[in-house]
Amino acid sequence: MKVIQYSQQPETRFDNDQVKGVSGRVVIGKADGAANFCMRVFELEKGGFTPKHRHDWEHEIFFHAGRGQVWRSGSWVPVESGSVAFIPGDEEHQIRNAGEGKLTFICLIPAGAPEL
């Protein structure tokens, strides 16, 4: 059994034209023996956003802290601590920080998808 604080896991920073102010961590993945699905934790700085994209795997997301918005079918849906989002495969999506502080969420993907 692995028990850690998510911040103990090494982070990968993403900053380019498509994604801004994003830090990602694989906290439970193949390296831990998780064969079926993978847990990542993302932190978005103020003004940060993930890429607007689609792919054939789903996301199961829980918003831990902060205030954000999720792109759904052409408009932005507000989310905050305690919000849950299920993004089916092949559906366009993007997440952005809409608050003054950090937006933190966990995002799970099935095995086979890239872990980060």
Instruction: Provide the binding-site residues for its own copies, judged by CB under 8 A.
Output: 1-7, 9, 27-28, 32-37, 39, 41, 58, 60, 62, 64, 70, 72-73, 77, 79, 82-88, 91, 93, 106, 108, 110
Distance in Å, CB of 96 to its own copies, minimum:
14
CA–CA separation, 106 and 96 (whole Å): 14
Under 8 Å between Cβ of 105 and 42: yes
CA–CA separation, 74 and 90 (whole Å): 15
CA–CA separation, 92 and 27 (whole Å): 25
Of 15 and 99, which CB lies nearer to its own copies in the complex structure? 99
Of 17 and 33, which CB lies nearer to its own copies in the complex structure? 33
Distance in Å, CB of 17 to its own copies, minimum:
24
